[in-house]
Amino acid sequence: MNTVDGAPAAGTGEGADGAGAGGGRAGRRRSVAILSAAAAATVVAGATVGLGVNSVVAGAATAGPASSSSADIHTALGRSGYGGYGGYGSSSGSTGSTDSSALASATSAQEVGVVDITSELGYDQAESAGTGLVLTSTGEILTNNHVIEDATSIRVTVVATGASYAATVVGTDATDDVAVLQLSNASGLGTAHLDTAGDVALGDAVTGVGNAGGVGGTPSASPGTVTALDATITTQAEQSAASETLNGLIETDADIQAGDSGGPLFNASDEVIGIDTAASQGGETQGYAIPIEDALAIAGRIEAGQASSTITIGYPAFLGVEVAPSAASGASDPYGSSAESSGTVTGAAVSGVIEGGPASAAGLAAGDTITALNGTPIASAQALTQALGTLAPGRRVSLTWTDTAGAAHTAEVTLAQGPAA
């Protein structure tokens, strides 16, 4: 199994429900395990992590990112359904329990500060759709990372006015599923009305609003109540042991749909208390939102340029190779953290090269094995990803590899700007 741009974290496991207070909030802490099917291949573009596809909550219902994607990429990668980084559900149906066409429409007050986001996934020849919130009148946008993950270009439409803008990535936090975008040449935009008090309580009336089904236009509105606080969702990729976890979420029985990701979860006063992030599919309707105060704290670090092990500022460096784990590492790690090889050579085994990318220009081909970067030995695909994660686009590096005939090569390459992390 190969790993793809911002490879989904991988793992398997059972759902678990626990009790206990958390984060100073009233109510119970709920933990839900989500099983996700991993994609077929990952293009190395720095240390990026996605949450996976075709998620299963507690072994029965399915759940995943509430964004919407074209069917083409799912067909190509053997997936089904919607999702910015894979999605969930059926491509001919909705991700919640209700057909998105049957949902109520958002009010004019709820439309203020809401945007539709369309991401072109150029390397996957696909598009994904989601939702976002306007933070500033000059076009700073808050959304989920998975809505724009792997995007090579992003277009944002302001729902209230219909105005459309190109957008660039300010920064992303794949671990906490938050991204900040900046619209080009935007001014005078209406901003979202936020409630950052953090006083959400069990039983509170809420409404999830977003671009259900990725159809654009007037947002859908799904009423519900808060059913749990401090919820934890562990998203795991099929046939693998690694996982990604989102903590401190608001759980609701609002029928969050594919395409709603990054959209607002409103309280009864039409103030944003969270951003819609994931939803269940099956007999029980469960939606999950990141509390707005938590999302804003991460956005603040992104705005300040505070890169970290989880936060990428701007776009990652891009080498343009697909790397695959060895048989020894099995499917337990899509990055191939065990030593990998082509024949007897240890390194990051190249399963594909992106045409026109830096690796292609240097002469790498499928079957080669990358053995060093800037003179530092590379023992696995994971090591290569981590090494690239410390570098910026435009950086010139020395790349060493062994070809299928056993000949060693070294070349200087200039790292390109990769798709969104």
Eight-class DSSP state of 148: H
d(CA 129, CA 132): 10
Place of tokens 């060895």: 326
Distance CA(263)–CA(249), nearest Å, equals 14
53-208-170 Cα angle (round to 5)? 65
| CA distances from residue 335 to 85, 195, 199, 283, 415 in whole angstroms, order as listed | 16, 39, 40, 34, 20
**Amino acid occupying residue 212:** A
CA 2 – CA 324 distance, rounded (Å): 4
Calpha distance 11→18 (Å, rounded): 20
Closest CA relative to residue 293, chosen from 249, 328, 332: 249
CB 370 within 8 Å of CB 337: no
For every residue of 267-307, DSSP letters joined together read -TTS-EEEEEEEEEESSS--EEEEEHHHHHHHHHHHHTT--
Of the candidates 5, 116, 150, 177, the residue annotated as catalytic is 177
Catalytic residue check, 409 = no
Q: In Å, what is the CA distance from 86 to each residue of 65, 80, 240, 304? A: 8, 8, 16, 30
Question: Helix, strand or coil for residue 240?
Answer: coil
Q: What is the dihedral of CA 266, 272, 277, 278, to 10 degrees?
A: -20
Active-site option among 119, 128, 261, 380: 261
Q: Whole-angstrom Cα distance, residue 131 to residue 142? A: 9
Decide: helix, strand or coil at residue 91.
Answer: coil
Q: Is 293 left (phi over 0), alpha (psi -120 to 50) or beta?
A: alpha
How many whole angstroms separate alpha carbon 323 and alpha carbon 367?
Answer: 10
Residues 6+ apart with CB under 8 A from 382: 333, 335, 336, 337
> Token pair for residue 176?
């906490």
- Residue tagged active-site, from 5, 55, 124, 146: 146
Is 146 a catalytic site residue? yes
294 catalytic per annotation: no
> Which residues belong to the active site?
146, 177, 261
